[in-house]
Amino acid sequence: MENQVELIIDSRSSNVGLARVTAASFASQLNFTLAEIEEIKVAISEAVSNAIIHAYQDQVGKVKMKLRIYEGQLEIIIKDEGQGIEDIEQACQSSYTTTDRMGLGLAFIESFMDKFELKSKLGVGTELRMVKVPAQEKQQVN
């Protein structure tokens, strides 16, 4: 089965819930457990919140969320056209933050997903790619 959906939202914190619910609903097409769906929702919250807080700062921009199911896995791409990340390696360090927040968002994403990639270019934007495979599917392969 292959399927995909794309959601484009304004970079407003009030839209984080919409992104979470959309991703959870779409992911339910696969054999994820409730705990895995919760992990997906947390990862979406962190990724979208990062785009809202860091990409556009005090301005409203667009955050694009692309969801795709293929080969028994869920691929999630969160993309913005904001200011970009100067040092990706540093940004991925646990508790690194440029605000008064805890700085654990990327660490949570990495721990909840099977694959995690972050690309960014200053002045162009950031793209975060995550892949999650249902645990039940992983067990069948092994």
Rg (CA), the chain: 15
pTM, full prediction? 0.84
Q: Is the pLDDT of residue 6 over 60?
A: yes
| CA angle (107, 66, 24) in 5-degree steps | 70
Pairwise pLDDT comparison (85 vs 2), residue with the higher score: 2
Q: Is the pLDDT of residue 142 over 70?
A: no
Report the pLDDT averaged over residues 99-123. 78
Identify the pLDDT of residue 90: 57
Q: Give the C-alpha separation, 142 to 138, whole Å.
A: 7
Identify the pLDDT of residue 123: 87
Catalytic residues: 46, 50, 101
Identify the pLDDT of residue 103: 46
Q: Give the C-alpha separation, 3 to 45, whole Å.
A: 22
Q: What residues have CB less than 8 Å from 49, skipping those under 6 apart?
A: 13, 16, 105
121-141 residue pLDDT tens: 998 999 999 999 999 887 765
Q: Is the pLDDT of residue 108 over 70?
A: yes
Identify the pLDDT of residue 102: 45
Q: In what order do the strands lie in the sheet with 62-70?
A: 3-10, 62-70, 73-80, 125-132, 115-121
Most distant pair of Cα atoms in the chain: their distance: 48
Report the pLDDT averaged over residues 76-103. 68
Identify the pLDDT of residue 89: 64
8-66 residue pLDDT tens: 999 999 999 999 999 999 999 999 999 999 999 999 999 999 899 888 878 899 999 99
